[in-house]
């Protein structure tokens, strides 16, 4: 048994103690009211405790390929795909798994425990999928990984793409993917979205479509996805990733679209660091930001969350798996710097991501649930966002994954002059 003492939980002014027994949260009570005799005691000193971060969109089969694959000199999505396509045959499951483990470790050290990774299945050997299926099993004590059968080069533009997606689902992928804006024609794009929903229903899987990841305001596959998901009764199991074109839609169309999006119940994922980098590349000035309408979705109670997407791959040369940096970028780019957003900032990398991943009630920090949580070096959401606060501790099913010391920032030597407490 372990008692985590003096925990500051989100939206709760009184410190709490958390009793962990047999991997579960046995009790949460006011600080000092849980007997800690015969228990290990860990004093959290009033630091913020919350559910682990969720990264609902990453490509673990691509991580750390930027240096060895051809340079994406234009910085566009399409040249990223071309670079990947030219070089991916050189990879083996062993190489992919080794790099993915390195990327996953960075994610874990940033406080993430729930991950959805898209795996390129436009490969007759399904090399990446085999690597990810092994990895998902090997790391289950550290992270929950969902795998998306993602046809990077198109479900129809790549010969046999549809069959490879279906094969990946049979082999154990959790979600159906698609990339309609990359297909050769709009008709093929629409067909790919309909097929993704059809396969999800057939195999009882989730759906996550790379949807309208372009500044082209005529890319409108999100309406097809929302309608098909709603019509098939799987809105809550469906996600539209990116939807960058929504940042370029005219307001009259967006107004009509939002009614459908809300009714459909689908979730949205925005990848702020990656899409501010990839989009706007065909603009001179003014340059578009290329992100979806995150603020408007939050205002309309449409579920939206942030994700990392890339760690050093042909699409984005940076990224380190730390969602706090992604959150920071997203808040700036999406104009979320008003109190009503900042005071709930962590929702975008915790509960909203959990809803997208369809994790259910067991995700939450409640008595009887698995003891999986993180400790953040902050007092509240605003403080965490402003300071890009570090995750000091990560606990999963009652086991301590890691513990870091909080930085002192030289407070002792400065305290005399600045009268720090």
Residues assigned a catalytic role: 213
Residue 274 beta carbon to Fe ion: minimum distance, rounded to whole angstroms: 7
CB-wise, 275 or 380, nearer to Fe ion?
A: 275
CB-wise, 329 or 385, nearer to Fe ion?
A: 329
Which token pair is 268? 């949205």
Residue 378 beta carbon to Fe ion: minimum distance, rounded to whole angstroms: 29
Q: Which residues contact 47 (CB under 8 A, 6 or more apart)?
A: 7, 8, 375, 376, 377, 378, 379, 392, 406
Residue 407 beta carbon to Fe ion: minimum distance, rounded to whole angstroms: 33
CB-wise, 309 or 328, nearer to Fe ion?
A: 309
Which token pair is 419? 């009268």
Sign of CA dihedral 191, 277, 376, 398: positive
Report the site for Fe ion in 46-75 (rule: CB under 5 A): none
Q: Residue 384: is it exposed, middle or buried by C-beta count within 10 angstroms (0-12/13-18/19+)?
A: buried
CB-wise, 7 or 147, nearer to Fe ion?
A: 147
Residue nearest to Fe ion (CB): 309
Cα–chain center distance at 133: 19
Strands 16-21 and 399-403: unpaired
CB-wise, 174 or 381, nearer to Fe ion?
A: 174
Taken as a whole, the chain contains a residue count of: 421
Residue 148 beta carbon to Fe ion: minimum distance, rounded to whole angstroms: 9
Whether the Cβ atoms of residue 331 and residue 385 lie closer than 8 Å to each other: yes
User: How many residues of this chain interact with Fe ion, rule: CB under 5 A?
Assistant: 1
Distance CA 200, CA 175 (A): 7
Residue 200 beta carbon to Fe ion: minimum distance, rounded to whole angstroms: 18
CA-based max dimension of the chain: 70
Site string for Fe ion, 216-255 (x = CB under 5 A): ----------------------------------------
CB-wise, 240 or 257, nearer to Fe ion?
A: 240
CA distances (Å), origin 27, targets 19, 46, 280, 367 = 5, 18, 50, 5
CB-wise, 79 or 309, nearer to Fe ion?
A: 309
Q: Which residues contact 156 (CB under 8 A, 6 or more apart)?
A: 162, 183, 184, 188, 191, 192
Which token pair is 72? 């994406």
Which token pair is 262? 């809300």
Report the site for Fe ion in 87-126 (rule: CB under 5 A): none
Distance CA 182, CA 108 (A): 32
Cα–chain center distance at 142: 16
Report the site for Fe ion in 309-348 (rule: CB under 5 A): 309
410: helix, coil or strand? coil
Q: Which residues contact 346 (CB under 8 A, 6 or more apart)?
A: 10, 50, 327, 381, 384, 385
CB-wise, 316 or 341, nearer to Fe ion?
A: 316
Question: Phi and psi (nearest 5°) for 292?
Answer: -70, 175
Residue 232 beta carbon to Fe ion: minimum distance, rounded to whole angstroms: 24
Report the site for Fe ion in 250-309 (rule: CB under 5 A): 309
Whether the Cβ atoms of residue 342 and residue 336 lie closer than 8 Å to each other: yes
Report the site for Fe ion in 119-158 (rule: CB under 5 A): none
∠ CA 234-55-305, nearest 5°, is: 60
Q: In sequence order, what are the beta bridge partners of 394?
A: 374, 402
Residue 184 beta carbon to Fe ion: minimum distance, rounded to whole angstroms: 20
Residue 281 beta carbon to Fe ion: minimum distance, rounded to whole angstroms: 16
* Binding site residues, Fe ion, CB under 5 A: 309
């Amino acid at each position: 048994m372990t008692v985590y003492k003096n925990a500051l939980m989100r939206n709760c002014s009184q410190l709490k103690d958390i009793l962990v027994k047999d991997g579960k949260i046995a009790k949460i009570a006011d600080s000092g009211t849980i007997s800690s005799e015969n228990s290990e005691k860990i004093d959290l000193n009033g630091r913020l405790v919350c559910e682990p971060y969720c990264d609902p969109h990453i490509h673990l089969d691509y991580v750390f390929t930027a240096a060895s694959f051809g340079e994406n000199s234009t910085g566009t999505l399409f040249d990223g795909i071309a670079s990947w396509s030219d070089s991916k045959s050189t990879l083996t499951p062993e190489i992919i798994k080794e790099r993915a483990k390195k990327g996953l470790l960075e994610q874990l050290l940033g406080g993430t425990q729930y991950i959805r990774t898209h795996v390129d299945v436009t490969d007759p050997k399904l090399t990446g999928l085999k690597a990810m299926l092994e990895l998902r099993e090997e790391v289950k004590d550290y992270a929950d990984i969902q795998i998306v059968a993602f046809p990077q080069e198109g479900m129809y533009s790549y010969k046999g793409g549809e069959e490879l997606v279906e094969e990946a689902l049979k082999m154990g992928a959790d979600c159906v993917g698609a990339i309609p804006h990359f297909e050769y024609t709009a008709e093929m794009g629409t067909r790919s979205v309909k097929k993704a929903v059809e396969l999800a229903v057939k195999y009882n899987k989730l759906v996550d479509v790379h949807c309208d990841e372009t500044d082209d305001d005529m890319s409108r596959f999100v309406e097809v996805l929302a309608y098909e998901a709603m019509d098939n009764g799987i809105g809550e199991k469906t996600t539209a990733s990116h939807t960058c074109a929504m940042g370029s839609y005219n307001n009259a169309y967006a107004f009509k679209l939002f009614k459908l999006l809300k009714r459909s119940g689908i979730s949205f994922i925005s990848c702020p660091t990656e899409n501010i980098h990839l989009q706007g590349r065909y603009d001179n000035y003014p340059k578009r930001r290329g992100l979806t309408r995150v603020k408007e979705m939050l205002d309309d109670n449409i579920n939206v969350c942030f994700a990392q997407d890339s760690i050093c791959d042909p699409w984005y040369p940076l990224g380190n798996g730390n969602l706090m940096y992604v959150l920071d970028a997203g808040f700036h780019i999406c104009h979320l710097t008003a109190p009503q957003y900042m005071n709930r900032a962590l929702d975008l990398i915790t509960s909203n991501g959990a809803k997208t991943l369809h994790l259910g009630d067991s995700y939450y920090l409640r008595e009887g649930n698995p003891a999986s949580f993180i400790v953040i070096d902050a007092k509240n959401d605003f403080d965490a966002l402003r300071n890009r606060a570090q995750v000091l501790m990560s606990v999963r099913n009652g086991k301590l994954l890691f513990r870091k010391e909080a930085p002192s920032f030289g407070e002792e030597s400065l305290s005399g002059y600045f009268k720090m407490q």
